């Protein structure tokens, strides 16, 4: 080796490619210098023993919200801090500007807001119904954004694109070589049902679920796929929550279409029974679904019908979530970035026996591939960023909001007993977690420009 | 590193995991010691410069015939020698015993026959209609064979299992945790058509194709899948040659069944037009198909509907192939192991622009996974066997039987202008090819016991 | 027989049930008294010789527009007169009230307007976005309307129901035991494309087709089916014009859903090539499609994927259609009720060799079944209304607008050479056509109340 | 009418076409002279009051076995007599010759054997593995046989055609414009399983079912469809007994293939639980299936996936069925022609509320269409044979073998309480049943030549 390495992670069960091998990982100058047989690596400035632990490429939370002028109570900085506590080494967050801002200004604004970020961050750009699509897409590309988010719901909040705008935006994204992301729920059906429920005085958390029926998601996903196909545009369906939605994505993929589906830990581990327990805190969209949907999502995620898992971190303080007795007045969303990796590791790898290679694929390799960060991130291989996480399968712990770091002071996973935990992590070779302790320096995270989006590596 | 490495391959475009990275590969004691950034590896006993070249894990030819008491003109040793010249580092060949031999005796016999092998070898065991399935499967497992081959055709040659036997054998293989392999053509339809053609005096090479219609393959594949599903048995369909067969495999996989499909270079690059050119030399089964089938197979292989490529090396001397003017008297098969990797590299990577990671997957990782050799083989990662091939994209050459090394003194790829070529290779760190020159020592290949079969890593 | 019959139609090739038999049809008191072997019927007041001709149950045009306060230039009376000239014996027309009218008032208004009708008529009721669905549906049912029409396009003309309203209306229709009808095109996509074209100055008839792409119909049909399935509502898709739309209906039917598809003669015989010939006269929606769509529609109609054929008679004077050079200013629609039966008979039975039983099914039995008129209409059987048409296969003629009777003074079938023609017809035993001559008395047509909708009888 | 009619059936609920209308049916000279409104028919030699009863076209049992040199204990004459007691007016029975007989001789032999038949009869011709297909098909056509039966099982009884022969026979049938019928079970799988069970001493009636698993039927049906598609041959799948088989037929039909499926009352009303009750008497093939299969068959039969119901009357005396304690020694089959119509009427129309038009379709119209007897039989329309059945819905009775008329002295429907019953019937105007009493004259039945096969009229 040329010079003494900065770091060697020794003897871990390292996910490299699709395999898990016992190996040493050597880091120098912020990148992975090599992967070698245990014991073969030279002396290094720092040596970390990972024997008996899993080593995966840095986890990426590609479904990540924070306050962008309105909505949400975490700032980019506080949200990233929470993510980093949970083993995330890169987030890809949604941004939208204030009225009148160009997309370039919006990106610059939030890049600046991430100055104190503790891990790396990239952005998706929201396209709203009144935005100049062409200008936004061009600005985005210039600033390293290649994924553009559209809403098929929330007309009353001013987010929804009608189908004609959606199709127009997709054509623009396709022409630019970008990726369209959709929140796929039929907003019109939901709004009319909400009216009916509200008029009938049915305004409780349990009522909420019934205003967003499963078929309204399935229909929207099928529609988005048809529009994307017509537009020739790669499509990423965020937070698939239903068996039918998963099937729609699977069918499209089987036809060879460039469609990628994402789900979230809350849809994998909770169901609509939680509405009674958490009340308005559990108001998220899509809503928590039936138990059968949960099973279908796990199957889809292991078969490769769904490719990624994001947190949909949408942080509000408990006070904001509980301010109104009318569920329709409650803001949407719940925190989740800090629990994303732990929940997946516990429930997928340690409880269901899925391979750590599977975990690395859905939480790191696939997000990296899909959002144009691969092979800079998403892989443990020479030359890649030294974004690394060590997971200790022997830890047992219970999720408590009090122990988490979002300003959002509750969690839907409250009380969940988890196996295993991320204990050490690095971003470009810089420490984030050490022995479970958070030791990151503010500002060590950097804005990352995304390259052209790619396809996930199926299961 | 502990001690000076035996070998460093410097600066190649290395396929590791699903990515292609510029890296050094370090080898010691026959295994891969590490993969590192270019220039970071220490001094070594031997250094090979691979800059500008592709480095992939050793290629595996898992569809490989040689003389087993009858049929074929290559011995195991000569066939392996030919394979090794073409960059193959492991073959998995088909064996069957003479009447009266136990499977254990058969395996031992052929292990012994491979004493002078220049690269590694493993076996599939044929199950014939008169074999004691339970005993053969038990013997096979004991000796490291986990894949069992059955024929759905060739009743008149004594190979065909009727459906009842096929189902019985599959149940046995399933119970043992093995993998069923089928030659899927409807033998009964073929035999009756052959009778009709023979009676009508239609005995030319072109007639031959019409006695084995595409639907006879498609039907057999669909039937094999249904039987395997009923038996709960993983299934490997060898040499898929038709669009319909590929679709049948794809549908089964989409239903979640553990079905793996293989195709061969001859079906990817030749079509039934070649019958006129090559005459009886091109009598293979399944026969060469229509141009549209070729396209469908490429699509299937890139989408992951088909997972592997084998050669179906079935070596006869030209004299044997041309002894009779009656095509039905001509033995089946053509050589191919030596051209397998070069043709795939040229036509897939260099002409169609598929990733070298794709090549590694279909020719190395997937065969290794499916036949229980992974991650010992099929991957460039610390601890794996140092089976490595360097491919030089800058070479241009023309296939000539005269330059090949099977005793089969012709090739269906005669005259094909290829781009790129394997130039260096190692099996467990021992040299096979050096700068395009064959320098392997007889006996450096070893018999490899297969572990439990696995699933391929789709595209 | 009890008393001398009023009429005997002798010796025709009579469609009764699914068969065509040579028979006499006996009529008394406005209903069919019997069907007997040729020559067995008793003397009658009138005897018509139908030997060598086809006799089918009265044709029903169930897709029929006329002026309802605005739009269209035919009145109910003039439109029915045109229909009757073409062999139609019952029309089911679309009605909508003026603002402020209850549905009951609307029905009564148009019943009165049909006082001079020459053949029978029934109604579908339009549900607009501002209508009180519950009241309209209740009123409709009370007045004998069981089919309710919704638009998925034409937001700017105030017709379009958003998905939430559509779903709400479907739930209402389902609860009432009615049938939902949809014009299925994605209006939002069309409106946005129209904007783009208009802004770009692309305002010619050929441009028009491109603003209503095939996928916008296919998507809307798939969406309507999903909403109807969720609402538990039987669904009738009017004027399916694309291969993809036909496939969507076929798939839904194969899943057992109560979905019925209709197409029109213009989609079966014309294609987008006609835009150049007819210019703005051919502005209809959905637009004329590709030649491949035509073929697919014929296949769907003979296989039973589509069940009915209606005219979509939308009568405007040539002056109205040609008033503007801007295609987007031109009103939608073309006349067609008078050519409906002749075109189907010529192109389906006489040119394509489909059975007259097929013709009777798609033009009479199926509309009667679907809209609750069966077995009062739609069948030649004792007790059914004596609605009868004699078709003479030996006539050859050419369609000329000058010979037709709508106030719409042009036809898209201008110049089409047809084989065969309706020559005699009766509604409830009263003459409409005699020897090709129109001899109906004003007022002999009656308003017909529809019963509960049923399923078509597939091919 | 020309002359006084022979018979008028007054005021019944007559199935004519797809509708049920109150009508008089007039018969003269053995054919239907007319269908008229109640009360309109003239005086006649005989008048039968059918008010409150259903009148359907004569029922056809198109799956009908009798002794053909070997097997079965009914002669053609005794089997027909039993059928006629149950309201059947035409049977289509399976014939095969003795070794050395031409098909022409075989047909002539059995025509002669039907000299005393009480209702009409037609034949299907069996094609065995050693038959000269071309000669048999030509002979059959010449004698009025257009449907040819092949077995995919029973190799050991000498009936099974291997796939090559099956494909050859289908090509011959296709070229002749005929219809291929298959008994679709995978005989090879069944034989091998039977061996395994027999060797293990598992030879009880319950064991029998497990030697003929559902997948062995499904696979064979799928295979037969593929072969028929390749041969371009219309296919009739007899006695579909499984949900999967029904789905296979439905899929093929949805693809537009000319495939017709039949089931039998025993599969619609009994399940494998009956093996314990009836023991070896219930040994039929395919065997009785699971309850879920029953439900699927009813669904398939009402949706039109299956088109016909035959009895598979396979009459043995109880002594023959109970001669051996080894279930594998017991002959296959059970009687059923006499209960066919009563069971369908009771369970389909009166208990499940299906339309009498449905009953007429599956038991009369569709068999007539498919086997080339339509519109001579299978319809109540002028000119059709006066084959008529009056069904009285008010009768309640219990099936007792003692009351039936096959020489087979037991029934699988023993003790079943049925609603309704055929009470009057005629074949070509001649009486068979009168008020539930059998009064047919021997010899009044005639051999009927079949014309070209047609497609069924789906639900």
User: In chain A, which residues have their Cβ closer than 8 Å to the Cβ of B375?
Assistant: 19-21
Number of CB atoms found within 10 A of residue B291's CB: 11
The partner residue sitting opposite A1, judged by closest CB among B21, B42, B254, is: B42
- Predicted confidence (pLDDT) per residue in A342-370, tens digit: 999 999 999 999 999 999 999 999 999 99
Q: Mean pLDDT throughout D395-410? A: 97
How many beta-carbon pairs below 8 A join chains B and D? Answer: 66
Tokens for C325? 């050079």
Q: Which residues have CB under 8 Å from D113's CB, separation 6+? A: D75, D76, D77
Q: Using the beta-carbon criterion (under 8 Å), do A18 and B382 form an inter-chain contact?
A: no
Q: Using the beta-carbon criterion (under 8 Å), do C193 and A218 form an inter-chain contact?
A: no
Q: Rounded to the nearest 10 degrees, what angle do helices A133-142 and A103-113 cross at?
A: 40
Asked if the C-beta of A415 comes within 8 angstroms of chain B's C-beta atoms, the answer is no
- Residue B40: the pLDDT is 77
Q: Using the beta-carbon criterion (under 8 Å), do D164 and B215 form an inter-chain contact?
A: no
Task: Report the percentage of chain D scoring pLDDT > 90.
Answer: 94
User: In chain D, which residues have their Cβ closer than 8 Å to the Cβ of C37?
Assistant: 28, 31-34, 382-383
- Residue D43: the pLDDT is 86
Q: Mean pLDDT throughout D68-73? A: 92
User: In chain B, which residues have their Cβ closer than 8 Å to the Cβ of D150?
Assistant: none
> Taking phi first (over 0 means left), then psi (-120 to 50 degrees means alpha), and beta for anything else, what does residue B52 get?
left
No. of H helices and E strands in chain C?
15, 17
C452: nearest Cα among C381, C360, C371: C371
CA separation for the pair A188, B94 (Å, rounded): 62
- Nearest C-alpha in C relative to D357: C17
Asked if C124 and C85 touch (Cβ cutoff 8 Å), the reply is no
Asked if the C-beta of A120 comes within 8 angstroms of chain B's C-beta atoms, the answer is no
β-sheet bridge partners, residue B421: B392
The partner residue sitting opposite D226, judged by closest CB among B168, B215, B230, is: B215
User: In chain B, which residues have their Cβ closer than 8 Å to the Cβ of A37?
Assistant: 28, 31-34, 382-383
How confident is the prediction for chain B on average, in pLDDT?
95
D-facing residues of C in 21-40 (CB < 8 A) are: 21-24, 26, 28, 31-40
B430: nearest Cα among B444, B412, B449, B417: B444
Question: Can you tell me the ipTM of this complex?
Answer: 0.94
In eight-state DSSP terms, residue A98 is P
Residue in the structure block whose two tokens are 């049809």: C25
Vertex D372, ends D368 and D373: CA angle to 5°? 50
- Residue D3: the pLDDT is 73
- Residue A1: the pLDDT is 42
Q: Mean pLDDT throughout B56-83? A: 96
CA separation for the pair B28, B5 (Å, rounded): 5
Asked if B306 and B261 touch (Cβ cutoff 8 Å), the reply is yes
Closest approach of chain C CAs to the CA of D20, in angstroms? 8
Q: How confident is the model at residue D2 (pLDDT cuts 50, 70, 90)?
A: low
Vertex D20, ends D17 and D22: CA angle to 5°? 120
Whether domain A58-370 has CATH 3.20.20.20: no
Asked if the C-beta of A223 comes within 8 angstroms of chain C's C-beta atoms, the answer is yes
Q: How confident is the model at residue D107 (pLDDT cuts 50, 70, 90)?
A: very high
CA distances from B238 to B124, B289, B312, C269 (A): 12, 15, 9, 48
Binning chain A into helix, strand and coil, the percentages to the nearest 5 are 35, 25, 40
- Residue A39: the pLDDT is 84
User: In chain D, which residues have their Cβ closer than 8 Å to the Cβ of C358?
Assistant: none
The partner residue sitting opposite A381, judged by closest CB among B21, B33, B458, is: B21
Interface test with B, best of D162, D184, D213 (most B CBs within 10 A): D162
The partner residue sitting opposite A382, judged by closest CB among B1, B21, B31, is: B21
Q: Mean pLDDT throughout A242-247? A: 98
Q: Rounded to the nearest 10 degrees, what angle do helices A214-231 and A187-199 cross at?
A: 160
CA separation for the pair D121, D135 (Å, rounded): 23
Phi, psi of C351 (to 5 degrees): -90, -40
- Which chains are adjacent to chain A, needing at least 3 Cβ pairs under 8 Å? B, C
Q: Using the beta-carbon criterion (under 8 Å), do B34 and A39 form an inter-chain contact?
A: no
Decide: residue B91, CB within 10 A, 0-12 exposed, 13-18 middle, 19+ buried: buried
- Residue C459: the pLDDT is 54
Return the CA Rg of chain C: 21
Domain boundaries defined on chain D: 7-55+379-394+414-438, 58-370
Q: Where are the beta strands (DSSP E) in C377-416?
A: 388-398
Q: How confident is the model at residue C389 (pLDDT cuts 50, 70, 90)?
A: very high
User: In chain A, which residues have their Cβ closer than 8 Å to the Cβ of C190?
Assistant: 164
Q: What SS3 state is found at A191? A: helix
Closest approach of chain A CAs to the CA of B18, in angstroms? 6
Q: Using the beta-carbon criterion (under 8 Å), do C164 and A230 form an inter-chain contact?
A: no
Q: How confident is the model at residue C2 (pLDDT cuts 50, 70, 90)?
A: low
Q: Using the beta-carbon criterion (under 8 Å), do D215 and B229 form an inter-chain contact?
A: yes
How many beta-carbon pairs below 8 A join chains C and D? Answer: 141
A-facing residues of C in 158-177 (CB < 8 A) are: 162-165, 167-168
Helix ranges, A121-234 (H)? 133-142, 163-175, 187-199, 205-210, 214-231
CA separation for the pair A169, A182 (Å, rounded): 11
Q: How confident is the model at residue A459 (pLDDT cuts 50, 70, 90)?
A: low
Q: How confident is the model at residue B3 (pLDDT cuts 50, 70, 90)?
A: confident
Q: Mean pLDDT throughout C118-134? A: 97
Interface test with A, best of C164, C171, C225, C230 (most A CBs within 10 A): C164
Asked if the C-beta of C257 comes within 8 angstroms of chain D's C-beta atoms, the answer is no
User: In chain A, which residues have their Cβ closer than 8 Å to the Cβ of C188?
Assistant: 162-165
β-sheet bridge partners, residue A261: A237
Q: Using the beta-carbon criterion (under 8 Å), do D163 and B189 form an inter-chain contact?
A: yes
CATH code of the region D7-55+379-394+414-438: 2.30.40.10
Q: Which residues have CB under 8 Å from D101's CB, separation 6+? A: D109
pLDDT at A12 over 80: yes
Q: Do chains B and C touch (3 or more CB pairs under 8 A)?
A: no
Q: Using the beta-carbon criterion (under 8 Å), do A40 and B24 form an inter-chain contact?
A: no
Q: Using the beta-carbon criterion (under 8 Å), do A23 and B381 form an inter-chain contact?
A: yes
Residue in the structure block whose two tokens are 């039909």: D253
CA separation for the pair B38, B23 (Å, rounded): 5
- Residue A276: the pLDDT is 87
CA separation for the pair A43, D192 (Å, rounded): 66
pLDDT at C56 over 60: yes
- Residue C40: the pLDDT is 77
pLDDT at B2 over 60: no
Asked if A454 and A118 touch (Cβ cutoff 8 Å), the reply is no
Q: Which residues have CB under 8 Å from A247's CB, separation 6+? A: A218, A296, A305
- Residue B279: the pLDDT is 95
Asked if the C-beta of C16 comes within 8 angstroms of chain D's C-beta atoms, the answer is yes
User: In chain D, which residues have their Cβ closer than 8 Å to the Cβ of B215?
Assistant: 226-227, 229-230
Q: How confident is the model at residue C39 (pLDDT cuts 50, 70, 90)?
A: confident
Full-model pTM: 0.92
Q: B130-159: string of b/e by CB count within 10 Å (b at 16+)? A: ebebeebbbbbbebbbbbbbbbbbbbeeeb
Asked if the C-beta of B245 comes within 8 angstroms of chain D's C-beta atoms, the answer is no
Closest approach of chain B CAs to the CA of A374, in angstroms? 9
- Predicted confidence (pLDDT) per residue in A263-301, tens digit: 999 999 999 999 989 999 999 999 999 999 999 999 999
Asked if the C-beta of C206 comes within 8 angstroms of chain D's C-beta atoms, the answer is no
Asked if the C-beta of C247 comes within 8 angstroms of chain A's C-beta atoms, the answer is no
Torsion of CA A396, A401, A404, A410, to 10 degrees: 140
- Residue D263: the pLDDT is 98
Closest approach of chain D CAs to the CA of C342, in angstroms? 24
- Predicted confidence (pLDDT) per residue in B381-405, tens digit: 999 999 999 999 999 999 999 999 9
């Amino acid at each position: 080796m040329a010079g003494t390495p900065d770091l060697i992670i020794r003897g871990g069960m390292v996910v490299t490619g699709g395999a898990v091998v016992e190996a040493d990982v050597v880091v120098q100058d912020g990148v992975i210098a090599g992967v070698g047989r245990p014991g073969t690596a030279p002396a290094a400035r720092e040596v970390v023993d990972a024997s008996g632990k899993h080593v995966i490429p840095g986890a990426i939370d590609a479904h990540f919200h924070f306050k962008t002028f309105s909505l949400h109570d975490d700032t980019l900085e506080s949200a990233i801090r929470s993510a980093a506590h949970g083993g995330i080494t890169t987030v890809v967050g949604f941004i939208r500007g204030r009225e009148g801002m160009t997309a370039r200004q919006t990106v610059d604004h939030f890049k600046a807001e991430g100055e104190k970020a503790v891990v790396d961050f990239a952005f998706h750009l929201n396209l709203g119904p009144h935005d100049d699509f062409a200008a936004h897409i061009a600005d985005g590309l210039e600033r390293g954004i290649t994924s553009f988010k559209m809403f098929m719901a929330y007309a009353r909040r001013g987010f929804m694109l009608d189908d004609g705008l959606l199709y127009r935006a997709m054509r623009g994204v396709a022409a630019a070589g970008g990726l369209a992301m959709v929140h796929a729920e039929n907003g019109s059906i939901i709004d009319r049902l909400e009216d009916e429920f509200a008029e009938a005085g049915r305004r409780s958390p349990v009522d909420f679920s019934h205003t967003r029926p499963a078929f309204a998601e399935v229909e929207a996903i099928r529609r988005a796929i048809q529009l994307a196909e017509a537009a020739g545009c790669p499509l990423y369906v965020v937070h698939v929550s239903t068996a039918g939605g998963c099937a729609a994505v699977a069918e499209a993929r089987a036809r060879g279409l460039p469609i990628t589906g994402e789900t979230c830990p809350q849809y994998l581990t909770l169901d609509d029974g939680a509405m009674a327990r958490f009340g308005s805190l559990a108001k998220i969209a899509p809503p928590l679904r039936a138990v059968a949907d949960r099973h279908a999502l796990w199957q889809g995620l292991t078969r490769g019908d769904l490719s990624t898992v994001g947190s949909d971190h949408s942080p509000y303080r408990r006070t904001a979530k509980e301010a109104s007795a009318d569920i329709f007045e409650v803001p949407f969303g719940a925190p989740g970035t800090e629990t994303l990796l732990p929940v997946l590791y516990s429930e997928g790898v340690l409880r269901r026996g899925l391979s750590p290679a599977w975990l690395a694929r859905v939480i790191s390799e696939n997000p990296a591939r899909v959002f144009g960060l691969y092979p800079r991130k998403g892989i443990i291989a020479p030359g890649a960023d030294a974004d690394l996480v060590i997971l200790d399968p022997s830890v047992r712990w219970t999720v408590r909001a009090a122990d988490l770091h979002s300003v959002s002071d509750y969690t839907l996973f409250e009380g969940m007993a988890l196996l295993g935990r991320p204990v050490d992590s690095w971003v470009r070779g810089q420490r984030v977690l050490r022995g479970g302790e958070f030791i990151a320096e503010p500002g060590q995270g950097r804005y990352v420009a995304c390259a052209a989006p790619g396809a996930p590596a199926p299961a």
